[in-house]
Structure 1
Amino acid sequence: MNSQIKNKLITEFSWLLGIIIVSAVLEYAVIVFFNLHPILSVKIQGFIGLIVIAYIIRMVARMGKQGVIVFEDDEQEESGERE
């Protein structure tokens, strides 16, 4: 189980790192080639940040659905305990 979590985390964080690198390259290219106003570059950075946050949420949800991560609420529902 421990190696499964380790392999899944490495895979997910490598995807996250790839998304960040590609986003940064695209942002740099857009800013350099189109000579955007600084406010627009900040908006692009915010959009990239939202993409990264959304991917992290999706990653955690997918790992929970596959059973790699067990959430405390899931354990309580399986055992029938309610607080």
Structure 2
Amino acid sequence: MRFFDFLFPPRVDENLVRNLAADAFLAEAAPRLVPVTRPGTVALLPFSTAAVRAAIHEAKYHGNRRAFALLAAALTDYLCDADEGFRNPV
């Protein structure tokens, strides 16, 4: 694969996503409520972080499977945590 990287250099975002560990990406997750929207929206990841921005750009504009996997892992973690209250009703 390095030979092809020499011939066709990867994009900056692609290179960042390729070398990003899943645990490091999931550590960026900090769900917060965005009060400006109605109804309130939850932002799972801070777009100001280079890794998050790269993953979103790669998934949206280039269909990068690794980026989709990282974003799916963040969503899965959030949904599993949010579902805890519904599984065990009071």
Taking structure 1 as the reference length, what is the TM-score of the superposition?
0.36
Which of 1 and 2 has greater Rg? Answer: 1
Higher relative contact order (CA 8 A, sep 6+): 1
Higher strand share: 2
Taking structure 2 as the reference length, what is the TM-score of the superposition?
0.34
Higher helix share: 1
